[in-house]
Amino acid sequence: MEDLSVEKVAETMYGMVKDYHGKKNLKATDLTKAMIEQFGEACDKQKCKEAIRVIIDDGRCTYSYVGGSYIVLNPDYHPAS
Amino acid sequence: MSAEPLKRKTDIGPPNYQQFLPPIIQENYGQWKYHEILKPGVLVHVSHSGAKLYSVRAATPRLMSIETIRLFADLADEFCGGYLRFTSRNNVEFLVTDETRIDPLIARLRAEGYPVGGTGRSITNIVHTQGWVHCHSAATDASGVVKNVMDELFPHFEAMDLPAKLRIAFACCLNMCGAVHCSDIAILGVHRKPPKINHDALPKTCEIPTTLASCPTGAVRTASVNGKQSVEVIDEQCMYCGNCFTVCPSMSIINAENDGLSIWVGGKVSDARHPPMFSKLAIPFLPNNPPHWPEVVSAVRNIVDVYASHARKFERMGEWIERIGWPNFFKLTGIEFTKFHIDDFTHAGETFARSAQIRQVPA
Amino acid sequence: MTELKHQTPLIDELEKGPWPSFVKEIKKSAKSAAVQDLLGVLERSYEEKRGHWKHGGIVGVHGYGGGVIGRYTDLADEFPGVAEFHTMRINQPSGWFYTSKALRTLSDIWEKHGSGLTNMHGSTGDIVFLGTTTPELEPTFKDLTDAGFDLGGSGSDMRTPSCCCGPARCEWACYDTLNFVYDMTQTYQDELHRPAFPYKFKIKAAGCANDCVAAIARADMSVIGTWRDNIQIDQPAVKEYAESGKLDLQKDVCDRCPTKCMSWNGKALSIDNSNCVKCMHCINAMPKALSPGKDRGATILIGAKAPIIGGALLSSVFVPFIKVEPPYDDFKELIAAIWDLWAENGKNRERVGEFIQRIGLGNFLEQIGLEPIPEMISHPRANPYIFYEA
């Protein structure tokens, strides 16, 4: 449990954003709550914060801000194959 | 992404303000003893050390070209060592140490079209929003109304001839990007028709739960239109705030025939004498009448004139109205009182007169 | 002058008159193709009495969720120059102090990358760059950061904090508002750039109760300077005011005091400081004779906002008096406690003030570990519906 990595949290978050795409916009707080629920004590707010930074900085996700700020799939994300 | 990404700096924050402070401020930081208003638009701050700093305050239109910013930079170089600041009400202040430079600077600013004033018991710059220049939900133009109102009230900018300072603020919709709700006079753009829904675009552009939650009165509910998930508005519950439009671009609140302006009075933020107060409704609706908005200009002018001739020294608009009572405010200004003036939102009851203390009018 | 592309007779009317003209300002930047079309769109709005802008919601600089507001005209075919006309918010220096050099740097960057139109400043306090295209956002950001500037906040993040001119140029500043705001801004860069809250959170710092930044009306956390000891009186200077004929000490000063804690006997002014509520009126009236006490600090008030969604609120008292000294740990602990509770339980787009109203101030205090005290209320409850926890 101790060795839950930020990358693992980031990957899980990214999956969640993909699952909800087109259904519900997720806020940073939604993702954080979901991760802590899923991973329990191994996860905390700081780890979630870092994980959000990972999925935003690597371009998989981006912020949208119509009526509040959300973390959404980045339409311009084209990973190098 | 390019193969060689730009080397990016992030999260550096603003530059440290200390590098922008003139030497006289660095030497007298926290050591100011008192200040005086030498004349309209000119303050002198005197330090315990005896040092004197003169601030020359000029109006800007807030919406400014970089050519004007460069002009201000040139004037600052010429008159005060390159040091200047802006105020919370969109004025520019030149920080002068050589007293003999004050009048030449004022003359130059006037010649360039940036008048000096706005200190003490005056009407200073109107804080305002973007309006038709840049905003999606504006019910009117901000800069245009402000320009007309300030042209009309201009003598009060250049003279300190009012009972107390009079703060005017302008917001082009209920979002109120500015402290409109606590101003002596607030001019507020209003919509008066429920949003028009584009049911084709809505499912693609809007998230329905957020849209429902955006409505202060619960007037937006889910609906199925032509087999597509969408929303509908219960018209009787809508008070046209436009918040759903901000959340959902497919619910346009713009309606040229019915959008317009309202006027609010008696708010303040300072704690001097009376605690801060919200502005209260004086005029529920005035039409959009560009380019000069004569109805708005004369309504504001009237309120200023009545206040100026009736309030006592130091009394802000709200303090004056509290002393004379709202019935007298409506009587003196000749503004019609209507059912729209009576609050009917959450804590409306608190605004009802619950006392028989009334200034009765002799028969 | 640059030749103008569109005829604009209506807005040209607003080049006249004594007040500085925003139309002249726009025209000063007319060498930008975007500004040419902005004039056209604005004229159309004046003709039709309606705006022609759409709000976007995704453009920004890489990694940040705030600081850029997407903006597009709905008349892009006719006015392609403003098909994209985004706003950038740039975090202002504390107290809006500048050198001419800094202003030229900003102007040069905006000439290179955008319309050349600005607001000095926006309502929250930022320098506002008005109008550029999506491809220019990242290069503008690079030039800004190279010059030592960074973006401000927008969306559900900590918004750019702002303050009055403070001790830099005001004898009434009861704490160092400039340093406080600089420290808060630097401490919370992540919260400012990466929205992680239910909605916006504003901090405004006013050096005294005159509140030149409207903190009490506009900030989720309003920090307003005050003092605990006695008002400093220079009696000879008081006498000078009385003799000058400009001020009636009884009528203009003593009778205007909200707690009537002052008296004037024709020779000396006396103040019952235990009843002084630090409103600033007497000090405003006689700045040469009176000044705030020496034991200075601030009152922390929480929860102001404009009407949307649940109605406008003024901030209310949380901490009646606190010393405001670096490294501001007490503030940071309080902010952390508030953010923690609000982030976990606040609804989308619910400001702290609305959140407190929903869960109850008593409950809120309990959760963040503050003792309830009578300074926090104007009067105790009058309704007997008490949720006892017996």
User: pLDDT by residue (tens digit) across B219-258?
Assistant: 999 999 988 899 999 999 999 999 999 999 999 999 999 9
Question: Residue B94's pLDDT is what?
Answer: 98
Does the beta-carbon distance from B136 to C71 stay under 8 Å? yes
Q: How far apart are the first and last CA of chain B?
A: 82
Does the beta-carbon distance from A67 to B211 stay under 8 Å? yes
DSSP string computed for C162-230? EE--HHHH-TT-SS-HHHHHHHHHHHTHHHHHS--SSS-B-EEEESSTT-TT-HHHH-SEEEEEEESSP
C-alpha distance from residue A73 to each of A20, A26, C277 (Å): 10, 10, 53
Does the beta-carbon distance from B66 to C51 stay under 8 Å? no
- Residue B5 banded pLDDT, cuts 50, 70, 90: low
C247 contacts C254 by C-beta, under 8 angstroms: no
pLDDT at A81 over 80: no
- Residue A61 banded pLDDT, cuts 50, 70, 90: very high
Mean pLDDT, chain C, rounded, equals: 97
Percent of chain C whose predicted confidence (pLDDT) is above 70? 100
Q: Which two tokens stand for residue B148?
A: 């007309």
Residues of chain B with C-beta less than 8 angstroms from the C-beta of A67: 207, 210-211, 214, 246-248
Question: Residue B2's pLDDT is what?
Answer: 42
Edge-first strand order for the sheet with B185-190 is B168-171, B185-190, B260-265, B280-287
- Residue B348 banded pLDDT, cuts 50, 70, 90: confident
- Chains in contact with A, counting 3 or more C-beta pairs less than 8 Å apart as contact: B, C
- Amino acid found at B243: N
Residues of chain C with C-beta less than 8 angstroms from the C-beta of B73: 100-101, 103-104, 107
- Looking at CA atoms only, how far is residue C264 from chain A in angstroms? 55
Q: Which letter does DSSP use for residue B292 in this model?
A: T
- Looking at CA atoms only, how far is residue C352 from chain A in angstroms? 15
pLDDT at C377 over 60: yes
Buried b (16+ CB within 10 A) or exposed e, B217-251: eebbeeeeeeeeebbebeeeebbbbbbbbbbbbbb
For C240-265, how does the pLDDT look when each residue is reduced to its tens digit (9 = 90+)? 999 999 999 999 999 999 999 999 99
- Residue B42 banded pLDDT, cuts 50, 70, 90: very high
> Fold for domain A6-73?
Arc Repressor Mutant, subunit A (1.10.10)
C123 contacts C88 by C-beta, under 8 angstroms: no
Q: Where are the domains of chain A?
A: 6-73
pLDDT at B302 over 70: yes
For C160-189, how does the pLDDT look when each residue is reduced to its tens digit (9 = 90+)? 999 999 999 999 999 999 999 999 999 999
Question: Residue C323's pLDDT is what?
Answer: 98
Q: Does residue A75 sit at the B interface (CB-CB below 8 Å)?
A: no
Mean pLDDT score, C25-42: 98
Phi, psi of B48 (to 5 degrees): -60, -25
For A1-36, how does the pLDDT look when each residue is reduced to its tens digit (9 = 90+)? 458 999 999 999 999 999 999 888 899 999 999 999
Using CA atoms, how far apart are residues A48 and A5, in angstroms rounded to an integer? 10
Question: Residue B1's pLDDT is what?
Answer: 40
Using CA atoms, how far apart are residues A68 and C198, in angstroms rounded to an integer? 8
Using CA atoms, how far apart are residues B251 and B195, in angstroms rounded to an integer? 5
Using CA atoms, how far apart are residues C61 and A63, in angstroms rounded to an integer? 10
pLDDT at B327 over 70: yes
C279 contacts B272 by C-beta, under 8 angstroms: yes
Using CA atoms, how far apart are residues C176 and C50, in angstroms rounded to an integer? 44
Does the beta-carbon distance from A69 to C55 stay under 8 Å? no
pLDDT at C15 over 60: yes
Q: Which two tokens stand for residue C5?
A: 């592309």
Q: Does residue A42 sit at the C interface (CB-CB below 8 Å)?
A: no
Q: In chain C, which among 296-335 make CB contacts under 8 A with chain B? A: 306-312, 314
- Among C295, C287, C270, smallest CA distance to C210 is for C287
Residues of chain A with C-beta less than 8 angstroms from the C-beta of C343: 29, 32
- Looking at CA atoms only, how far is residue A3 from chain B in angstroms? 29
pLDDT at C238 over 80: yes
A70 contacts A25 by C-beta, under 8 angstroms: yes
Mean pLDDT, chain B, rounded, equals: 95
Phi, psi of B108 (to 5 degrees): -65, -45
For C312-350, how does the pLDDT look when each residue is reduced to its tens digit (9 = 90+)? 999 999 999 999 999 999 999 999 999 999 999 999 999
Does the beta-carbon distance from C348 to A68 stay under 8 Å? yes
Residues of chain C with C-beta less than 8 angstroms from the C-beta of B190: none
Among A27, A49, A57, select the one facing C156 at the smallest CB separation: A27
Residues of chain A with C-beta less than 8 angstroms from the C-beta of B214: 67
Residues of chain A with C-beta less than 8 angstroms from the C-beta of B205: 66
CA atoms within 13 A on the CB side of B160: 16
**Residue B228 CA to chain centroid, in angstroms?**
42
Among C58, C190, C349, select the one facing A62 at the smallest CB separation: C58
Using CA atoms, how far apart are residues C54 and B198, in angstroms rounded to an integer? 14
What three-state secondary structure class fits B124? coil
Q: In chain C, which among 239-278 make CB contacts under 8 A with chain B? A: 252, 256-258, 277-278
Residues of chain C with C-beta less than 8 angstroms from the C-beta of A65: 57-58, 60, 65-66, 69, 154-156, 195
C-alpha distance from residue B118 to each of B47, B155, B165, C22, C230 (Å): 23, 10, 9, 18, 32
Question: Residue C239's pLDDT is what?
Answer: 97
Q: Which two tokens stand for residue C385?
A: 């519906």
C-alpha distance from residue B34 to each of B30, C174, C298 (Å): 11, 14, 20
B275: number of Cβ within 10 Å: 16
Q: Which two tokens stand for residue C192?
A: 């400012």
pLDDT at C381 over 70: yes
Question: Residue B6's pLDDT is what?
Answer: 57
Does the beta-carbon distance from B136 to C55 stay under 8 Å? yes
The ipTM is: 0.97
